[in-house]
Amino acid sequence: MSVAFTKENDRDGTEANLQDRPISPHPNLVTAEGLAMIAAALEAARAAVQEARAAGEDGTGLALARAARDFRYYAARQADAEIVPPPPADGRVHFGSRVTFDRDDGRRQTFRIVGEDEAEPAKGTISYVSPVARALMGKQVGDVAVVGGGEVEIVAIG
């Protein structure tokens, strides 16, 4: 096959061609813990870049490409992070609130509403731009919100 039909960095199949991690179009709201997590991830990516270079990678290796991609992502996220102070104790759901609600099917769930990079639903945190968080924002104990096609009733806010 002619070189004219290949990408410049695909010629021998060894170069890493990773696209940058997508950056959310939403404001990068974070808790203080979220900013610390981003800083730790940035430092880990920086160390991984140095490690890959020390191992002799010259910019074409996959480990260096992944580390550099992560470094660029977390550097950008740290640069545009907006720390949101703890939520006010006004009885309403805000960014940073821990919300407990009952679902129609009898399940009780508790989530803390946090920034996008710190959200891990399996660990009890959800992004403020998630449909669940959007439905709960501004509500108070006893209010009902529509989440995922069903109703949830807020039973506690902390």
Q: What is the pLDDT of residue 2?
A: 41
DSSP classification of residue 6: S
Helix axes 32-54, 62-79, angle to 10 degrees: 150
Give the H/E segment covering residue 145: strand 144-147
Q: What is the pLDDT of residue 33?
A: 95
For the entire predicted model, the pTM comes to: 0.82
Per-residue pLDDT of the chain (158 residues; tens, 9 = 90+): 344 444 444 434 444 678 999 999 999 999 999 999 999 999 999 999 999 888 876 656 888 899 999 999 999 999 999 999 999 999 999 999 999 999 999 999 999 999 999 999 999 999 999 999 999 999 999 999 999 889 999 999 99
Q: What is the pLDDT of residue 16?
A: 62
83-91 contacts at long range (C-beta below 8 A, 24 or more positions apart): 83/30, 83/31, 83/32, 83/35, 84/29, 84/30, 84/31, 84/115, 91/140, 91/141, 91/157
Q: What is the pLDDT of residue 21?
A: 93
